[in-house]
């Protein structure tokens, strides 16, 4: 996922909202999933991020856009 945020607090708030809303949607569509989960939370507590230079954006966008074209590695 490629996001643009004004600063770290904005990124943190955005991630909190994305994780919260998506977990709520998953559990609304698959309520039995909540019952079968050993963890109390759908998402892990933290997230990774990396600051990109403007010239790196096209390469990262292309990588994201072509993810499904590459074989899955285990």
33 within 8 A of 27, measured Cβ to Cβ? yes
> What pLDDT sits at residue 18?
95
pLDDT at 31: 82
Cα dihedral value 51, 54, 55, 57, nearest 10? 70
d(CA 15, CA 26): 16
Q: Give per-residue pLDDT as tens, 23-74.
A: 999 988 988 887 777 667 788 889 999 999 999 999 999 999 999 898 887 7
pTM greater than 0.75 (yes/no): no
With beta carbons less than 8 A apart as the criterion, state whether 26 and 42 touch. Answer: yes
- Break the chain into its structural domains and give their ranges: 8-69
């Amino acid at each position: 996922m490629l996001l643009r945020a004004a600063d770290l607090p904005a990124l943190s708030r955005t991630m909190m909202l994305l994780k919260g809303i998506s977990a709520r949607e998953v559990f609304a569509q698959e309520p039995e999933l909540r019952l079968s989960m050993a963890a109390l939370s759908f998402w892990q507590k933290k997230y990774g991020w990396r600051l990109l230079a403007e010239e790196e954006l096209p390469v990262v966008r292309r990588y994201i856009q072509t993810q499904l074209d590459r074989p899955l590695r285990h």
